[in-house]
Structure 1
């Protein structure tokens, strides 16, 4: 295996997915204390990123499963999930329930929620990966895919690590249920605006 390509793949993954660590930390904090939440989050992250890689590989071979014009509209996925989470927080606040208890009761995000956010947040990565895959050839592309999928596990470990550090865990326990919808809504709006969806780029 060419170590040069491995290094390039690791660098490309890190640059295009650094924001995922923040989202993963919030997901892990939301699922803290709930059995099976780590497994669901990791599964969702892998499914979402595998879908990104699959689309990029297919596009590199000439298939266009996801038209470029459709990518900005992926922002609707985290936007809707963020608004749903914000609505749940508002309902609980209105009902006078305690926020920390709610975190446990929620049970954390399901795998399909994580998949949707991961895919939407990485949708713009496809445009970066396609030319790299296309010029790397089948062998080089295989190295990229293997490194990417390995680093997804590292990203999940890092996100969980941050979410379980005492100081960070206390902050996320207190504010995570508010931060998560805000982050998801912000991601959704950024994807929509930067991609010019609905003419939002002015």
Structure 2
């Protein structure tokens, strides 16, 4: 028992160091996915059949194939062109994968806004970009928060798959520490609790944001 506790406390600094990389990887992926997902959503709703078709194919591919396979493709599949570091492949994979889900959340939210609001803004002399920025997106964002936030939480959890391409984030560190100490369950539970704390923090952020947006109505 004492040996287990010693290994757990001794492993904690290493797990927290791995968690720092998990947080950085997650935050950059979240920011990238939110931006690129909006671009894909607008392409998907475009009147251009080419842009709409490209977006539809993109969404179908990245939602229809496993994230782990996508990470392995970016890490190992393009070595004849460029050799990506593990963290680079992980960022690209996470952003492209979750942008497909977030794009559909954006699209559903934007389409839920009455067409009359588009027409009214055009009658006031506003162009497409102004209407989207000033009228549509603020309303759509409120509608999209629950589904988008599920994707953001999934990004944090799915960042653990970066361990498969040698990224020394929380999961890989926990696996290495448990393997070297032969004390598996306690150390893996420590890692699980850190992930739980991160996703809980995201949940609290969502509740705060929803309340703030409700007050602004």
TM superposition score category, shorter chain reference: 0.3 to 0.5
Q: Which structure exhibits the higher relative contact order, with contacts defined as CA atoms closer than 8 Å and separated by 6 or more residues?
A: 1
TM-score (norm 1): 0.41
> Larger C-alpha radius of gyration, 1 or 2?
2
